[in-house]
Amino acid sequence: MTQTQQMAPQLVAGKVAVITGSTRGIGRGIAEVMGSSGAKVIVTGRAREAVATTISELTALGIETGGVAAELRDEGGPARIIDAAVQKFGRIDVLVCNAGIYPEATIRAMTRAQWSEVIDSNLTSVYGMVHAAAPFLQDQGSGRIILISSITGTLVGYPGHTHYAATKAAMGGFMRAAALEFAPFNVTVNTVAPGSIESPGLTALGLGSLADYAIPMRRLGTPADIGWAVSFLASDYASFVTGHTFVVDGGQVVPEVLGTPA
């Protein structure tokens, strides 16, 4: 039994959760926490082998798991994922839009193609997934939609990531309007905004050390930290929470100046 499973209360027992971009990093952490908290998990990713490996790993932990490899930028990709979830488990209760990319490029050097790739991968994919899931969630009269945003773009900025920051800031506007549309159907819509989380993507940026940050909690976050926040918002305990952003950053955006007291 993993540490996550030892800690996990059954917050989402019996719920079916679709998690995009869940073969690695934050998405993988969300899948393990939600599965350990009782959810049936649908894993998604672009690479078929990565999806199969993740399904195998989660199944070995005793988590009921299915999955599908799909490209969210393709018009039919989101519908394939939702249909696979319904076929596997008969319903959908939670949609977690986590998939995203953040290649580095300054405004001066960025091409239109690079801009469009990030917008389509991070933002248009959210529309696609929510659009595909809407009939199922609204018709059953219950559900949770959780978008994985970031402190970047919503609260802070980072040079070389204007395209990424734009998508994450835009998620807030999408979330608030969607929350109003879905509220009459007893479906909540919220975002989780991670700070600096240990992940392959962070390491690829050369920012994998705590020394690179001013975090009052004096550690980087873990994918499981985001998983716990998502599991709470997906649970019945959060049935009256909609249209809001849950920041999970160890206090990273709080200090007025760099550094914390000894």
Alpha helices in 183-256 (DSSP H): 200-204, 223-234
Take residue 120 and report the two structure tokens written for it: 């389509």
CA 25 to chain centre: 10
Take residue 19 and report the two structure tokens written for it: 């998690």
CA 99 to chain centre: 7
State the amino acid at position 173 in one-letter form.
G
* 164 is known as an active-site residue: yes
Take residue 138 and report the two structure tokens written for it: 């609204």
What does R_g of the chain's alpha carbons equal in angstroms? 18
Among residues 65, 87, 73, 74, the alpha carbon closest in space to that of 19 is found at 65
Is residue 147 within 8 A of residue 176, CB to CB? The reply is no
Is residue 54 within 8 A of residue 60, CB to CB? The reply is no
What whole-number distance in Å separates Cα of residue 5 and Cα of residue 61?
9
What whole-number distance in Å separates Cα of residue 258 and Cα of residue 246?
23
Give me the catalytic one of 102, 158, 164, 237: 164
Active site residues: 164
